[in-house]
């Protein structure tokens, strides 16, 4: 399986979880959030939030930049654009 397919599978698996999709959508809407802000917004336990955010970061969907004690999260636009191209190609394929 080509690397790009493996990466797409990892991205889709990360977004397949409802909680992660909700967190991702919220971060995308706000452009940037800290892990603390995500935790406060989600009302989930801190370890649960960390687990979900790690999955999104590991899939490449989020950028995580450490700023002192805080980690700032933002959407990795390149990966989202790559996913959008993939979906568009699926939609354009004639059956």
Give tens-digit pLDDT for 25-78.
999 999 999 988 998 888 889 899 999 999 999 999 999 999 888 899 999 999
pLDDT beyond 90 at 7: no
pLDDT beyond 60 at 3: no
Q: 1-5, 14-18, 28-32, 76-80: which has the minimum mean pLDDT?
A: 1-5
Residue 78: its H or E element: helix 77-92
pTM for the full predicted model:
0.84
Radius of gyration of the chain (CA): 14
Q: Which CATH architecture has domain 3-92?
A: Orthogonal Bundle (1.10)
**41, two tokens:** 């917004």
pLDDT beyond 70 at 2: no
pLDDT beyond 70 at 95: no
């Amino acid at each position: 399986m080509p690397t790009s397919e493996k990466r797409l599978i990892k991205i889709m698996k990360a977004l397949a979880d409802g909680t992660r999709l909700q967190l991702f959508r919220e971060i995308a809407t706000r452009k940037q959030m800290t892990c603390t802000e995500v935790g406060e917004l989600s009302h989930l336990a801190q370890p649960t939030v960390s687990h979900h955010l790690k999955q999104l970061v590991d899939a490449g969907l989020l950028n995580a930049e450490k700023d002192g004690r805080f980690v700032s999260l933002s959407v990795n636009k390149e990966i989202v654009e790559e996913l959008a191209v993939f979906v568009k190609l699926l939609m354009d394929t004639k059956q």
